[in-house]
Amino acid sequence: MKIKIILLNSCSIIPPPVETPAEPGLKDWTCYNGDFSNRAWHSSIHQSSSSSDYYIISGTLNGITGLNDVWVGDISSSNMTCLTPSAGFGGRWGHTSVKTIEDG
């Protein structure tokens, strides 16, 4: 089985505002290990129901500049690893991602 990730960039010419999310209680947080930075307006994809892997794609640190990194995280171990700090696409934020599955 091959997994293909398709990135769909936002069509908005005005960047979305960076909003501060409501602060949940400390019991609601899970600490992930790695050099992952706080970010907003990223997209994420969960690998599959039989896998604990998920991907975080791009986003913004400051509401001005888009990132083009891709991270993989493992829910079961709380580890995150940078797959690439500079993927083959330009910096983006406010986008969405979908996962397709191909047999073969």
Mean pLDDT of 41-64: 85
What range defines the domain where residue 42 resides? Answer: 2-10+32-99
In a domain, 91, yes or no: yes
Flag whether pLDDT at 1 surpasses 90. Answer: no
pTM of the complete model: 0.65
Q: Which whole-number Å values give the CA distances from 70 to 10, 19, 25, 55, 91, in the listed order?
A: 17, 22, 28, 7, 11
In a domain, 17, yes or no: no
Q: How many domains does the chain have?
A: 1
> For residue 11, what pLDDT is reported?
44
In a domain, 27, yes or no: no
In a domain, 72, yes or no: yes
In a domain, 63, yes or no: yes
Of 76, 62, 77, 79, nearest to 18 (Cα)?
Answer: 62
Flag whether pLDDT at 8 surpasses 90. Answer: no
Torsion sign over Cα 44, 27, 38, 73:
negative
